[in-house]
Amino acid sequence: MRIIIVKDYDEMSSKAARIISSQVTLNPKSVLGLATGSTPLGTYKELIDLYNKKEIDFGSVKTFNLDEYYGIEKQNEQSYHYFMMNNLFKYINVPLENVNIPNGNAKNIEEECLRYESEIEKEGGVDIQILGIGANGHIGFNEPNVNFETRTHLVTLDERTIEANSRFFKDKESVPKKAISMGIKTIMDSKKILLIASGEGKAEAVEKTIKGKVDPKVPASILQLHKDVTFIIDKAAASKL
């Protein structure tokens, strides 16, 4: 486990972008695992910047997102499809046929989860998975009291997640109660993991993840068992370490 503590959000974002960019330089056909939420926004801005400076070429890259809300259309502004398109994909040259995000609106969710897993497998697995962390210690939407053995599956969102994500919706009631998420097993199969965390609100989750025991109550704590995981944490998020 590599822990890099940085000054602030901006430094976290530029360091994370540099790591992703090196990955793509070393292997232009890299399979990137991507996250949504506030944490990676700065990283995505930096990546767009590197792309504009011709320092990174996404032309042969494949991407797999961690999760998508259940029962939401791709065009919906709250969907993670919309988020990814408008915060990254439309500004870089990744071919859209190389982009994968679970279809939260699939008729048969079980089939969709299996399909997603087999697409990842077909590409030889994720080379580097970017993760944020929930204040409750979740990764992807693998909520506390997680089963560490799961692959992509339908999850019921934790009350704290609904509360936290309500900032993107008109009210708490509008937040979907379920989502499709890569499971812990899927995440742990990634060759490399890069977890980024910023702000005091994440300090407790970061502390439990890094210093606590591996515990299903803190889903991210399983990362202690991954052989190539890097945490980039700003001072505020590292304040309890």
Kindly state the tokens that stand for 215.
């515990």
Q: How far is the CB of 30 from ligand F6R (least distance, A)?
A: 19
Catalytic residue list contains 147: no
Question: For residues 119 and 100, is the Cβ–Cβ distance under 8 A?
Answer: yes
**What is the distance in angstroms between the CA of the first residue and the CA of the last residue of the chain?**
14
Residue 143 is among the residues annotated as catalytic for this protein:
yes
- Which residue's structure tokens are 């934790």? 158
Rounded Cα distance between 33 and 35, Å, is 7
Asked if residue 138 binds ligand F6R (CB under 6 A), the reply is yes
Instruction: Report the alpha-carbon distance of residue 188 to residue 174 in Å, rounded.
Output: 31
Q: 81 and 40 in contact (C-beta within 8 Å)? A: no
Min dist CB 28 to ligand F6R, Å, is 25
Among 67, 112, 158, 234, binds ligand F6R (CB under 6 A): 67
* Closer residue to ligand F6R (CB): 116 or 141: 141
Edge-to-edge strand order for the sheet containing 153-156?
67-69, 178-181, 153-156
CA separation for the pair 134, 191 (Å, rounded): 22
Instruction: Report the residue from 33, 42, 102, 134 that binds ligand F6R according to the rule CB under 6 A.
Output: 134
- CB 139 to ligand F6R: min, Å: 6
Nearer to ligand F6R, 132 or 176 (CB): 132
Least distance from C-beta 71 to ligand F6R, angstroms?
Answer: 17
β-bridge pairing 62-65 and 99-100? parallel
Beta strand 178-181 pairing with 153-156 = antiparallel
139 is an interface residue for ligand F6R by CB under 6 A:
yes
Q: Is 100 in the site for ligand F6R (CB under 6 A)?
A: no
Q: Which is nearer to ligand F6R, 24 or 101 (CB)?
A: 101
119 as an active site residue: the answer is no
> By C-alpha distance, which of 40, 6, 19 is closest to 237?
6
Q: Does 104 bind ligand F6R (CB under 6 A)?
A: no
Site string for ligand F6R, 26-45 (x = CB under 6 A): ---------xxxxx------
Q: Using CB under 6 A as the criterion, which residues of the chain lie in contact with ligand F6R when the complex forms?
A: 35-39, 66-67, 132-134, 138-141
- Which residues are known catalytic residues? 67, 136, 138, 143
